[in-house]
Amino acid sequence: MKLFVLLFTLVICSFSLEIEAGKNYTGSVLLQSSAQGLSFTLAQGWTARLNEASSLTASKDNGQIIAIISTYDLTSDTVIQEMNQVQDMGDGVFLHPLAKARKISPLIYMADYKLSGAPSPMQSRVYVVLGPKDKALAFVGASQLHQLKIMQNDMYAMAKSAKFTKLKTPKQNDNPWYSKLKGQLLLRFYHGSGYSEKSKWWLCSDGHFETSFNASSATSLGTGAALSSNIGRWTVQGEQLVLDFQNGSQYIYELSMYDGYIYMDNDKVYRDTNNYCN
């Protein structure tokens, strides 16, 4: 297995911050990812940084002690087996187990490794903290032998501080598109040579929708018309309008806005008075 890549949304103390590539965070400080439902305290004297490869790295004593801290998918049945393997850290650096991994508390596992491919002789200690739903937080530290005890103590302190919380699920009405669309009647028109169509979407505030489609054509062979309607449930996900039809099918429209008008799949739509539902 290749350890451990992480993109963190951080909360530092009581202030919510989106961590930026190249920006340093200095311990002691609480780092929390609400999106991933986890947190830990960066130990005193450590500096953490999100690099361009989206890896959260940390260092101490001018880089003489280093660490990678990240999430990984592990269970109590697989964690020791995975930790007993040689770890490919990339760039020709490998962690070779010095002893079997072991469980040191109900949720924390530990293993020691020798590094190969590093510019100087180093050893590593890895702590893995198991969380809910096969989620784990791994602390991978490395240092030269004369600083080994400092690295090990800090890694353990950070691992002990790790906490898992319930994932934050974005609320429907937190999405700005929801407030733009709820209770609206949306209209789309198309006129071509001898052909026209009109589509309507009633997006009710209680989450259900109804659509109608009316098309007509006139050619040298005569005239024709088509009419259809559907009902179902609607939601917004990011910048998408998701329609789940009663028959089990689904359609997703890409939403955008330009010059005050809503566009669905790059087609302009108009808002009109909704007398059907609010």
Q: Are 20 and 10 in contact (CB under 8 A)?
A: no
Predicted confidence (pLDDT) per residue in 66-85, tens digit: 999 888 889 999 999 999 99
Reported as a pLDDT band with limits 50, 70 and 90, residue 55 is low
Rg of the chain, C-alpha, whole Å: 28
Phi first, then psi: give them for residue 154, nearest 5 degrees. -70, -40
CA distance 135 to 110: 16
Which residue shows structure tokens 């054509």?
Answer: 217
Per-residue HEC secondary structure of 159-191 comes to HHHCEECCCCCCCHHHCHHHHHHCCEEEEEEEE
Identity (one letter) of the amino acid at 233? Answer: R
SS3 105: coil
CA distance 194 to 210: 27
Reported as a pLDDT band with limits 50, 70 and 90, residue 174 is confident
Give the pLDDT confidence score for residue 43 in this predicted structure: 93
Reported as a pLDDT band with limits 50, 70 and 90, residue 231 is confident
Q: Which of 20, 113, 16, 196 is nearest to 30 (CA)?
A: 16
Give the pLDDT confidence score for residue 145 in this predicted structure: 92
Indicate the pTM of the whole model.
Answer: 0.58
What value, to the nearest 5°, has the Cα angle with vertex 223 and ends 218 and 228? 100
Predicted confidence (pLDDT) per residue in 87-104, tens digit: 998 889 999 999 999 999
SS3 5: coil
Domains of the chain, earliest start first: 10-164 (3.40.1000.10), 172-272 (2.40.128.300)
Q: Are 227 and 214 in contact (CB under 8 A)?
A: yes
Percent of the chain with pLDDT over 90: 46
pLDDT over 90 at 6, yes or no: no
Looking at the DSSP bridge assignments, the partners of residue 188 are 199
Give the pLDDT confidence score for residue 35 in this predicted structure: 58
Percent of the chain with pLDDT over 70: 80
Predicted confidence (pLDDT) per residue in 216-227, tens digit: 765 544 444 445
DSSP string, 51-63: -TTS-EEEEETTT
**Residues 6+ positions from 268 with CB-CB distance below 8 Å:** 188, 261, 262
Most confidently modeled of 25-29, 134-138, 159-163, 175-179? 159-163
Query: What's the whole-number average pLDDT of the chain?
Result: 82
Q: Identify the residue with better confidence: 249 or 227.
A: 249
CA distance 227 to 216: 9
